[in-house]
Structure 1
Amino acid sequence: MPDIATRADLELLLRHFYGRAFADPVLEPVFETLMVIGLDDHLPVMCDFWETILLRTGVYRGSVGAVHRALHGRHGFTDRHFDRWVELWTSSVDELFLGDVAQQAKSEAAGIAVGMQRRLLEPSRVRRPECPPGSADW
């Protein structure tokens, strides 16, 4: 299997992941709006985000905080949501890619989940170690 090396690789990974998330009983309610409007507008932003993190392009200029705070307010994220997101992301990466960047994609996702938990859930409920150095922040 190839490693993640291009934006096209990231788009493939994201389409695969979102296809699974849209059908997942834990994550589907969180992604319901995105399912209705479709990936066409969202995918370029997510490709920019992951391309900046994994391929160091610097193309992402957004902020994920406000969107995820609104989603948390609407759906009440729990540890289960974050665990399932990381689980689906990790297995999606493993199904398509193998290599250093693929491993980094999995590590970064775990760090992102920890950061979001820390910001969105009560600090006393976060049960994971600190984000690894270099993890994406919002």
Structure 2
Amino acid sequence: MKKLESREDIELLVNSFYAKVIKDETIGFFFKDVVNVNWDKHLPKMYTFWETILFGQMSYKGNPMQMHFPINEIKAMEKHHFAKWLELWKQTIEENFEGENASSAITKSENIANLMAYKMEMARK
């Protein structure tokens, strides 16, 4: 196991994670059917997002929460969707990395998933 400590590590993590997501029956359809994600644009944004979150690079510009509201209007993003996202993210980290940043990536993802699930639920009320 290696430490999560570079942009290259984040790219490996994000790419491995989305390889799982796209095949997943619970959340894969959001990326394939609901949004039809442009991976050439999405993946670099995610690399930069996690680089900012984990390494404090402050290179990410955008509002990830705001990007999800239109998706939530098309198809409800519910707690179990975020739970699956979190499960796959943790699994990917644990398969590839160890150490402080790996633990931080899990903690931060839990916070993100919980907040996103709450905000998406409130937006539907």
Q: TM-score, normalised by structure 2?
A: 0.91
Shift of 1:75: 1.6
Shift of 1:120: 1.1
Map Cα deviations across residues 44-78 of structure 1 (whole Å, 9 max, x no partner): 11111100010111101111122211111112111
Q: Secondary structure at the match of 1:40?
A: helix
Distance 1:11 1:48 in 2: 9
Matches within 5 A, 1:6-85: 6-32=6-32, 33-34=36-37, 37=38, 39-85=39-85
8 Å CA contact 2:7–2:47 kept in 1: the answer is: yes
The equivalent residue for 1:97 is 97
Shift of 1:7: 0.6
Distance 2:4 2:40 in 1: 21
Which amino acid counterpart does residue 52 of structure 1 have in structure 2? T
Greater RCO between the two (CA within 8 Å, min separation 6)? 2
- The percent of aligned pairs where both chains have the same amino acid is 32
Which amino acid counterpart does residue 46 of structure 1 have in structure 2? M
Map Cα deviations across residues 67-126 of structure 1 (whole Å, 9 max, x no partner): 211111112111110100000000000011011100000110000011112211139xxx
The equivalent residue for 1:126 is none
Q: Secondary structure at the match of 2:28?
A: coil
Q: Secondary structure at the match of 1:66?
A: helix
Q: CA RMSD in A?
A: 1.2
Q: Which has the higher helix share?
A: 2
